[in-house]
Chain A
């Protein structure tokens, strides 16, 4: 599983960062992006889904790999 943040949609709510701090980083203005290459370790897949299901801007996108 991979996660990414659509920078066009993100408004800096930081809901993803609050719920899954392991998977996201935020810039100086509070806008989020995926940590590293966005790869989600298996044990954090639930948190990735939680982050996506809490974003009011639909900016957190999960891409399943296989």
Chain B
């Protein structure tokens, strides 16, 4: 992206960090290790200004500072209103995705609504679809002896599972991938693209609501329309923003996690062989991949002065919830940068901690377990194809975007 490439290089990560810098999203570990020692609560003026912590203790404390660190603004860049280019109408003053964007007491209402749809039992209903999808994706490339594990596999699973869960055709998956990339990846540093996509999504959800109002479908979107909000009737904007949340929070997060795990296994043959031989390690292995390759850095807005590790963050500041760095803190995790498939002590906070714990974590975990188990079962031996580069993408969601693999199967 032109604007992103044109900016000056980071001089000092303690005073000038940039989470959209390729150095940061390709290998942030050394940067966090340096900051943890030298400046555990860092600040930058870039992208509208923000603060970031790197120690587990500080990040955990910050996550629980509700509502002093408010979720009213949850993205790292300043919000822009959603304006319909055709009519000039302000559709939404700033991004909304309840309950991520909600503070108590409304947070609890929006959260309870979603938790029922994302409990382990509710998610178990989507296991057969996810398994079938994983097999179908592998069928496409298994005879070729090569694939891009990010583009052809990891990236394909969450959007199609989410489409299926919501009651939409899985062919919407490609559109969802494009929208999510426009909002989170390309759009993070490009407000025009972000807004144009936001308007498209707004209109899409409005149409889906209207369609179900005319002819009920009994799917997730329909179910959502029929719920109430703590006694108040459901409104279209809550349905639209909740559906938007499912896409923005449920797609490239999980695709990043599946991709990062496959990249790890492609570059660490000992771990790959062990997981093939000991599939019963999958539950702890998934938690360990989540710890080391946590994709998500949430943002909050300080509504009052808060003090973290002796540093006062003034009211009005944007604050980053650096869950990925917390999960690499050597004070909490011995040998933090190493993946230990059966790590026993693992209170990682990849899904956050406290009342804003990721509502979709059961879905993400199920998708990761199925995607990794089935890949290893069908393609137990694979390694990177050195002829093409592995690329990473970052910002508030970090993960590999291209993982060229070579493999042989019997």
Contacts and interface: CB of A to CB of B under 8 A. Distances in A.
Interface of A: 11-15, 17-19, 26-30, 49-50, 53-58
Nearest to A20: B283
Contacts of A58: 347
Nearest to B346: A54
A62 to B, nearest CB: 13
A7 to B, nearest CB: 14
B277 interface: no
B183 to A, nearest CB: 26
A26 B124 CA distance: 13
A56 B353 contact: yes
B348 A56 contact: yes
Contact of A12 (B115, B347, B365): B115
Q: How large is the interface on B (under 10, 10 to 19, 20 to 34, 35 or more residues)?
A: 20 to 34
Interface in B346-373: 346-349, 351, 353-355, 357, 361-362, 365
The A interface, classified by DSSP as helix, strand, loop or mixed, is loop
A27 B112 CA distance: 12
B120 interface: yes
B116 A29 contact: yes
Given A13-B351, A30-B118, A56-B60, 6 more contacts: A12-B119, A12-B357, A17-B120, A29-B116, A50-B284, A56-B347
Given A13-B351, A14-B362, A26 B119 contact: yes
Pairs A-B, 8 closest by C-beta atoms:
A30-B119, A29-B115, A11-B357, A56-B347, A53-B345, A56-B353, A54-B346, A19-B283
B283 A56 contact: no
Contacts of B346: 53-54
A12 B115 CA distance: 9
B283 A11 contact: no
B366 to A, nearest CB: 9
B344 A30 contact: no
A32 B112 CA distance: 15
A53 B347 contact: yes
Interface string B51-90: 0000000001000000000000000000000000000000
A39 B258 CA distance: 35
Nearest to A50: B344
A53 B344 contact: yes
